[in-house]
Amino acid sequence: MTSGDLTRRRFIAAASAGSLAAAASGTIPAYGDVVKKAGQLAILGGDPVRKNKPWPQWPYWDDSMTDTLVKTAKSRIWCRIQSASGTVPTFEKEYARMMGARFCVATGAGTQALHTCVEALGIGPGDEVITSPYTDPGTIQGILSARALPVLADLDVESYQLDPADVEKKITENTRAIMPVHMMGQPCDMDSIMAIAKKHNLRVIEDACQAHLAEHRGRKLGTIGDVGCFSFQSSKTIACGEGGGIIGNDEELMDKCYTVHNHGTSRRGRTEVIGPKYRMNEFEAAVLLGQLPGAIERWRRRNENAAYLTKRLKDIPGLTPQKLYPGTDSGSFYLYTMSYHKEQFDGVSRATFLKALNAEGISLSEYIPQGLHKEPWIDQIVKSKSYQKMYAAERLRQFSEQRACPKCDQVCEEMVMLWASGPLLAPQEEVADIADAIEKVWENRARLKQV
Ligand SMILES: Cc1ncc(COP(=O)(O)O)c(C=O)c1O
């Protein structure tokens, strides 16, 4: 028996009890009418599946975070370079340990972490980095800030991740690195990406900004490539408002990351290379340090609830949860995502489906409206004097002409998603509301034609 059956059974039992009482008093219509009213879509005047029940609040906060924040304030060590055992260096040690990496360098944002890695790997003008069009703008800005060229490869429509075959097609003699983006906090096809990198002698910078604690073949994301970058921006599963971090095992490279992020000044106190000032603030580190003890438990709970949702939704033909690659042990479940197939919902548009679900008290939404290949930056850099000096005219022409990513366009059109950081921490009976609401909308899809 599925939990869906259980939910319906619970409802029918409640409705029956109600009808009996009503029949005795002679005040309420027959049982069939009660079922019909409660089963009616909320968007058409029925009762919503979930009413006035907030999800666990996000960003997460607890007393131990207040304690670390107050302790940091009172210590008067407010900047990481004041003490080697201050809050930022302590957080770096703890985060590296939790992620199974030897080193961590904390930064002010995920974008800063990505840019630091690009610089530290010596990638700059004339060089190319292959990445995804379906991501936060911070991914490409990490490359553009080094005046390198972000070359976009298309996606696998089922996983929303970079398609390794298209990555390989986009390699040129100037390609220096691949930046796979673990979208929604799930692993990319890392087996294929690492094989391509090895074959073409490329570096791998993992954009794991959404992928805290997720695992592929027993390794945490961020530790598979040369370096891995994280964001701790408010919505992420480990968050401090704005923040970022780099993890890695190569001591020399991680030392270089430290130097770059510290306005080019090394741990030896010499100003050695070009570098912005991207140091994490001690108060951000305090908020992060205080939440690490429960982070693994919360990640487990999200994974359990996500597996439950996937099981409940697997028989709804018009919705396909994100495809996971072989070797995926777990995700971060920053977002819980699915593709919506309108034709299997009797032609009901995605917008109407989402409206109907929102009326049921379940806020699913679209995600990235269009890929980065459709944003104005490509024309801007192709026309810019600096890029014209750094790249051959023929390369910029090709780059501009070969920007189409039709699979990414399809993903943007089909995506429906839940901001999962908070909701997937709820008890399973509440997560069931999401599946119940989707089932209800699916069962009543024909009625949505009148909306
Ligand atoms: C995949 C991805 N890459 C990069 C970033 C940039 O991180 P930040 O916002 O911390 O700069 C984000 C943030 O949303 C992201 O989701």
Domains parsed from the chain with CATH numbers? 3-57+294-367+412-450 (3.90.1150.10), 63-291 (3.40.640.10)
Contact 260, 116 (CB under 8 A): yes
Question: What per-residue confidence (pLDDT) applies to 451?
Answer: 82
* Preceding peptide of 326 cis, ω within 30°: no
CA–centroid distance, 82 to ligand 1, in Å, is 28
Relative to the CA of 109, which ligand 1 atom is closest? 10
What's the CA gap between 77 and 46, in Å, rounded? 57
User: In this structure, which residue's CA is closest to atom 7 in ligand 1?
Assistant: 110
Residue labelled with tokens 């610089």? 119
**DSSP-derived pairing of the beta strands 335-340 and 415-419:** antiparallel
Please give the C-alpha separations between residue 356 and each of 47, 136, 442, 444, in angstroms, as whole numbers.
12, 28, 10, 10
Candidates 332, 291, 335; CA nearest to 59 is 291
User: In this structure, which residue's CA is closest to atom 14 in ligand 1?
Assistant: 136
Relative to the CA of 111, which ligand 1 atom is closest? 11
Question: What per-residue confidence (pLDDT) applies to 10?
Answer: 38
Sequence-distant (6+) residues with CB within 8 A of 37 are 46, 47
Ligand 1 binding pocket includes 111 (Cβ within 6 Å)? yes
> What pTM value is reported for the model?
0.92
Per-residue pLDDT 10s for the chain (451 aa) are: 333 333 433 333 333 333 333 333 333 334 334 434 458 999 999 999 999 899 999 999 999 999 999 999 999 999 999 999 999 999 999 999 999 999 999 999 999 999 999 999 999 999 999 999 999 999 999 999 999 999 999 999 999 999 999 999 999 999 999 999 999 999 999 999 999 999 999 999 999 999 999 999 999 999 999 999 999 999 999 999 999 999 999 999 999 999 999 999 999 999 999 999 999 999 999 999 999 999 999 999 999 999 999 999 998 989 999 999 999 999 999 999 999 999 999 999 999 999 999 999 999 999 999 999 999 999 999 999 999 999 999 999 999 999 999 999 999 999 999 999 999 999 999 999 999 999 999 999 999 987 8
CA–centroid distance, 32 to ligand 1, in Å, is 51
CA–centroid distance, 133 to ligand 1, in Å, is 13
Tokens of 138: 């911070």
Ligand 1 binding pocket includes 181 (Cβ within 6 Å)? yes
Ligand 1 binding pocket includes 135 (Cβ within 6 Å)? yes
CA–centroid distance, 286 to ligand 1, in Å, is 20
What's the CA gap between 262 and 164, in Å, rounded? 34
Ligand 1 binding pocket includes 421 (Cβ within 6 Å)? no
**DSSP-derived pairing of the beta strands 335-340 and 319-321:** antiparallel
**DSSP-derived pairing of the beta strands 175-179 and 335-340:** unpaired
Ligand 1 binding pocket includes 68 (Cβ within 6 Å)? no
Contact 323, 187 (CB under 8 A): no
Residue 228: phi, psi to the nearest 5? Answer: -130, 140
CA–centroid distance, 244 to ligand 1, in Å, is 9
Strand arrangement of the beta sheet that strand 328-330 belongs to: 219-220, 215-216, 328-330
Candidates 118, 72, 423; CA nearest to 281 is 72
Candidates 235, 230, 261, 234; CA nearest to 246 is 230
Contact 163, 407 (CB under 8 A): yes
Specify the DSSP element, H or E, that contains 5. Answer: helix 3-25
